[in-house]
């Protein structure tokens, strides 16, 4: 099961920055290939800035069930297609940080 890195990460991938009930989406950095609770956590922990992935790459993970998906699939979902955990609808506003 892939690990979600970050600051004060709980079992569902919520961190000190984003810790609402639906803040369960982790994104993979294209540079280090690790999943992070958020880009702020990544940038605080790593020695490089978060690098976005192409929309077609498997780079998004549900923190609740660890199901992985592409950005193209994720952008059309309001909840995980595997476990039905709702996603924070505001996360789509930050897509430019995670996908290119």
State the pLDDT at residue 45: 97
Give me the residues paired with residue 62 across strands.
25
Per-residue confidence (pLDDT) for residue 17, from 0 to 100: 96
Task: pLDDT tens for the chain, 100 residues: list them.
Answer: 899 999 999 999 999 999 999 999 999 999 999 999 999 999 999 999 999 999 999 999 999 999 999 999 999 999 999 999 999 999 889 999 999 9
**Model pTM above 0.75:** yes
* Helix (H/G/I), strand (E/B), else coil: 26: strand
Query: What pLDDT, on the 0 to 100 scale, is given for residue 92?
Result: 85
Helix%, strand%, coil% for the chain, nearest 5: 20, 20, 60
């Amino acid at each position: 099961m892939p690990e979600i890195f970050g600051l004060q990460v709980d079992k569902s991938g919520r961190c000190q920055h984003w810790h609402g009930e639906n803040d369960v989406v982790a994104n993979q950095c294209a540079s280090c290939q690790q999943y992070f609770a958020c880009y702020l956590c990544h940038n605080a922990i790593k020695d490089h800035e978060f690098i976005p992935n192409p929309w077609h790459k498997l780079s998004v993970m549900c923190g609740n069930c660890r199901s992985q998906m592409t950005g193209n699939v994720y952008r059309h979902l309001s909840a995980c297609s595997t476990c039905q955990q709702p996603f924070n609808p505001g996360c789509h506003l930050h897509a430019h940080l995670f996908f290119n």
